C-alpha cells in the first residue's frame, strides 16, 4: 500500500518491522485534525511474534543482576530528561493536553523511571529467624515472565512508565500495546529504550486494536501478567479472559471522584482546587473531580466562584501558552460529554455554565468547562464516569451526609475534603472509601512514591507506583538453607505428642 510520510512500525525482537497485515491506521491531532503519522494495524500473528521474542529474552534478562538492569533504566531516565521539550510538544500535538500538563506527564515518567531504577539496588526481601539451629530463612522477589502492558490515551508517557519500569527492573520482559490515540509517544519511549541499550526482545511494541492485539495478549499462554488501565467494562473482560490461563491481572479502571467542601473551608482555595481537578486535562484524568459535595450553607458562594472561574478559562490548542483547557481526545469522547449534559438536563439538574461544544473557528474536539448544579446524589451525572470537562455540584447537610454521598458510587479512586477542622479531616481519611484521599487539595496530583490505585470497581486490589508496584510484577520465593549437615525436620515436627 502507499504509505504516508510519517509511517511508523512495530518493534519486535530488537528490529523495527511492519505488520504482516500491511495495513496502517492514522494518528491525528485532536486540536486541529492534522495527520501526525500512520501506525501498523497489527494482527494476532504480529502479537505472537512479539510474545515469542519477549519470552525468549526473559531467559537471559531475568539473570541480569538487577543493578545492571537498573543502569539501563537510569540511562532511559536521562534520555527522557534530555528530550523532555520534544516529548512535551509532541504530546500536546498528539493528545491535546496543554503544554504545562504535557510537561508534567513527561516529568512523571522521568520521576518514575529514576525511582524504579533505584529499586534495582533495593528490591528488599525479608530475612527472618529460623526455627532450627544452623538454618537460614529468607524471601526474595522473583519475576514472572512476559508482561502485557496495555495503556490508555490520557497519560501517554506517565502511565507506560508506571508499568514498564517496575516490570523491567524486577526482571520481566514486556509486550507494549499503547492506545491507538497516542501511538507516537509510545513509539518515542521505545526508541529511547533501544538507544539506552536494552537487549533485544526485552521490550516490544505492537500497535493496533484491542480486539486483535489486546485480545491475543489476554489469551496467550506465555503472557504471565496483564497490566491494564482503561474502562471498567474492558477491565472486567481483561480479568475474565486472563483467568483462563491464570494470569496475574492488574487493573486500573474508572473513577467518580468527589471533593467535599465543608462550611468552614476556605472557599477560594477550594474553588481553585476544584477547577484544577475538574477541568485540568479537560477532565480526562482517572483522578478528575467529577463531583463536588458541598455543604448547603456554602453552596451558593462556592457555585458563584466556580462559575466565574470556569468562564475565565481559555479553551483552544494546547500549544498556545495562553490556553488553559485543550480538546478532548476524539469525537466519541466529545459526544459522550455532550450526551451527559442532555442527561443532566433531563434529570432536572441546572446547567450553571458550559454544556456545549466550543467552536470559535477551531476544528478540534472542544467542550466548554461545564458545571451541573443542584445535582441529586443518585442522578446519573452524580454516579457515572464522564471523563470530560464536566462536574456535578451536589449539596449535602453535614460531614456524615458528605461521606455517605461520596461513597455512594461504584468507584473508589481519589477523594478530597476541604475543611479547617482536623477532626473532620481525620474522619474523612478513615471513612472515604477510596485508594487516595487529599486534605485541603483537589483529587489530582498523586506523587509517584506512594501507591496509586482505588477500591471497588476502580481496580482489583493492586497498586501502581511506589514500592507497592513491585507486588504486581514479582512473586515471593521463600528460601531455607540448612547448614547443619543433618536432617533437622522443622519445629512443628519435633514437638512431643
Ligand atoms: C490518571 O489519571 O490515570 O494524580 C493518572 C494525578 C496524576 C496521575 C493521573 N499524577 O492526577
Q: Residue 116 and residue 468: Cα distance in Å, rounded?
A: 11
Q: Any idea what the Cα angle at residue 122 is, between residues 149 and 438, rounded to 5°?
A: 65
Q: pLDDT band at residue 4, thresholds of 50, 70 and 90?
A: very low
**How far, in Å, is the centroid of ligand 1 from the Cα of 364?**
23
Return the pLDDT at 282: 96
**How far, in Å, is the centroid of ligand 1 from the Cα of 494?**
53
Q: Report whether pLDDT(178) > 70.
A: yes
Return the pLDDT at 1: 39
Is 291 in contact with 446 (CB distance < 8 Å)?
no
Class of domain 257-439: alpha beta
Q: Which of 444, 447, 464, 465 to mutate to test the pocket of ligand 1 (most atoms within 8 A of CB)?
A: 444
Alpha helices in 196-266 (DSSP H): 215-219, 232-243
Go through 403-432 and write b for each residue having 16 or more CB atoms within 10 A of its CB, e for each that does not: bebbbbbebbbbbbbbbeeeebbebbeebb
pLDDT tens digit string along 321-331? Answer: 999 999 999 99
Q: Residue 374 and residue 366: Cα distance in Å, rounded?
A: 25
Q: Is residue 447 among the annotated active site residues?
A: no
Q: Residue 482 and residue 378: Cα distance in Å, rounded?
A: 61
Residues lining ligand 1, Cβ inside 6 A: 108, 154-155, 285-287, 444-446
Q: Report whether pLDDT(107) > 50.
A: yes
Average pLDDT of the chain is 96
Q: Report whether pLDDT(305) > 90.
A: yes
Q: In the predicted model, what is the mean pLDDT of residues 362-376?
A: 94
Q: Report whether pLDDT(64) > 80.
A: yes
Q: In the predicted model, what is the mean pLDDT of residues 256-279?
A: 98
Q: Where in the chain is the domain with CATH 3.40.309.10?
A: 257-439
pLDDT tens digit string along 131-163? Answer: 999 999 999 999 999 999 999 999 999 999 999
pTM of the entire predicted model? 0.96
Q: In the predicted model, what is the mean pLDDT of residues 399-411?
A: 98
Task: Return the residue matching grid coordinates 472509601.
Answer: 433
Question: Which residue's CA is the nearest one to ligand 1's atom 3?
Answer: 286
Tell the CATH topology of 6-253+459-478: Aldehyde Dehydrogenase; Chain A, domain 1 (3.40.605)
- DSSP letters, 112-129, are HHHHHHHHTT----EEE-
The cell for 400 is 456524615
SS3 content of the chain, % helix, strand, coil (to 5): 40, 20, 40
pLDDT tens digit string along 281-304? Answer: 999 999 999 999 999 999 999 999
Q: Report whether pLDDT(382) > 80.
A: yes
Q: Which of 110, 285, 288, 436 to mutate to test the pocket of ligand 1 (most atoms within 8 A of CB)?
A: 285
Q: Report whether pLDDT(5) > 70.
A: no
- DSSP letters, 291-360, are EEEEEHHHHHHHHHHHHHHHHH--BS-TTSTT-SB---SSHHHHHHHHHHHHHHHHHT-EEEE--SB--T
> Comparing 235 with 490, which gets the higher pLDDT?
235
Q: Where in the chain is the domain with CATH 3.40.605.10?
A: 6-253+459-478
> Comparing 2 with 40, which gets the higher pLDDT?
40
pLDDT tens digit string along 427-437? Answer: 999 999 999 99
Q: Report whether pLDDT(43) > 60.
A: yes
Q: Which of 252, 385, 396, 464 is catalytic?
A: 252
Q: Report whether pLDDT(361) > 80.
A: no
Q: Which of 101, 108, 119, 286 is catalytic?
A: 286
Spatial CB neighbours of 321, under 8 Å, sequence gap ≥ 6: 99
**How far, in Å, is the centroid of ligand 1 from the Cα of 381?**
21
Return the pLDDT at 359: 87
pLDDT tens digit string along 203-230? Answer: 999 999 999 999 999 999 999 999 999 9
Spatial CB neighbours of 54, under 8 Å, sequence gap ≥ 6: 146, 173, 174, 175, 201, 202, 203, 204, 222
Torsion of CA 230, 233, 234, 238, to 10 degrees: 120
Return the pLDDT at 3: 41
Alpha helices in 62-134 (DSSP H): 66-82, 84-95, 99-119
Q: Is residue 286 among the annotated active site residues?
A: yes
The cell for 497 is 505428642
Amino acid at each position: 500500500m502507499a504509505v504516508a510520510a510519517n509511517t511508523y512500525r512495530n518493534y519486535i525482537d530488537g528490529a523495527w518491522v511492519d505488520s504482516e497485515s500491511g495495513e496502517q491506521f492514522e494518528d491525528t491531532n485532536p486540536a486541529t485534525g492534522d495527520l501526525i503519522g500512520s501506525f501498523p494495524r497489527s494482527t494476532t500473528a504480529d502479537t505472537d511474534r512479539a510474545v515469542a521474542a519477549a519470552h525468549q529474552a526473559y531467559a537471559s534478562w531475568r539473570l541480569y543482576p538487577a543493578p545492571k538492569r537498573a543502569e539501563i533504566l537510569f540511562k532511559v531516565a536521562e534520555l527522557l530528561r534530555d528530550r523532555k521539550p520534544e516529548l512535551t510538544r509532541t504530546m500536546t500535538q498528539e493528545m491535546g493536553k496543554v503544554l504545562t500538563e504535557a510537561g508534567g506527564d513527561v516529568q512523571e515518567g522521568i520521576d518514575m523511571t529514576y525511582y524504579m531504577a533505584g529499586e534495582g539496588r533495593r528490591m528488599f526481601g525479608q530475612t527472618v529467624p529460623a526455627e532450627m539451629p544452623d538454618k537460614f530463612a529468607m524471601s526474595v522477589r522473583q519475576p514472572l515472565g512476559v508482561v502485557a502492558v496495555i495503556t490508555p490515551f490520557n497519560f501517554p508517557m506517565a502511565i507506560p512508565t508506571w508499568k514498564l519500569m517496575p516490570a523491567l527492573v524486577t526482571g520481566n520482559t514486556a509486550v507494549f500495546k499503547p492506545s491507538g490515540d497516542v501511538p507516537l509517544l509510545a513509539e518515542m519511549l521505545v526508541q529511547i529504550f533501544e538507544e539506552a541499550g536494552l537487549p533485544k526482545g526485552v521490550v516490544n511494541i505492537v500497535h493496533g486494536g484491542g480486539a486483535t492485539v489486546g485480545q491475543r495478549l489476554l489469551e496467550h499462554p506465555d503472557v504471565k501478567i496483564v497490566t491494564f488501565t482503561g474502562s471498567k467494562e474492558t477491565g472486567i473482560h481483561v480479568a475474565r479472559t486472563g483467568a483462563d490461563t491464570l494470569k496475574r491481572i492488574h487493573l486500573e479502571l474508572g473513577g467518580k471522584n468527589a471533593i467535599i467542601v465543608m462550611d468552614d473551608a476556605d472557599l477560594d482555595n477550594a474553588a481553585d482546587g476544584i477547577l484544577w481537578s475538574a477541568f485540568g486535562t479537560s477532565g480526562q484524568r482517572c483522578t478528575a473531580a467529577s463531583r463536588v459535595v458541598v455543604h448547603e450553607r456554602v453552596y451558593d458562594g462556592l457555585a458563584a466562584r466556580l462559575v466565574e472561574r470556569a468562564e475565565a478559562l481559555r479553551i483552544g490548542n494546547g500549544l498556545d501558552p495562553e490556553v488553559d483547557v485543550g480538546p478532548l481526545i476524539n469525537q466519541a469522547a466529545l459526544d459522550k460529554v455532550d450526551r451527559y449534559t442532555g442527561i443532566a438536563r433531563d434529570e432536572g439538574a441546572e446547567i450553571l455554565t458550559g454544556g456545549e461544544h466550543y467552536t470559535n473557528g477551531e476544528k478540534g474536539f472542544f467542550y466548554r468547562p461545564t458545571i451541573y448544579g443542584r445535582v441529586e446524589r443518585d442522578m446519573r451525572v452524580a454516579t457515572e464516569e464522564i471523563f470530560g470537562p464536566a462536574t456535578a455540584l451536589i449539596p449535602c447537610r453535614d460531614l456524615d451526609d458528605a461521606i455517605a454521598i461520596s461513597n455512594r458510587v461504584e468507584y473508589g479512586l481519589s477523594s478530597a475534603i476541604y475543611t479547617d477542622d482536623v477532626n473532620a479531616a481525620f474522619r474523612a481519611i478513615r471513612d472515604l472509601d477510596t485508594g487516595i484521599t487529599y486534605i485541603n487539595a483537589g483529587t489530582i496530583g498523586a506523587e509517584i512514591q506512594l501507591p496509586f490505585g482505588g477500591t471497588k470497581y476502580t481496580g482489583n486490589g493492586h497498586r501502581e507506583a511506589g514500592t507497592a508496584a513491585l507486588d504486581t510484577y514479582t512473586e515471593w520465593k521463600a528460601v531455607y538453607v540448612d547448614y547443619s549437615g543433618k536432617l533437622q525436620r522443622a519445629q512443628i515436627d519435633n514437638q512431643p505428642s
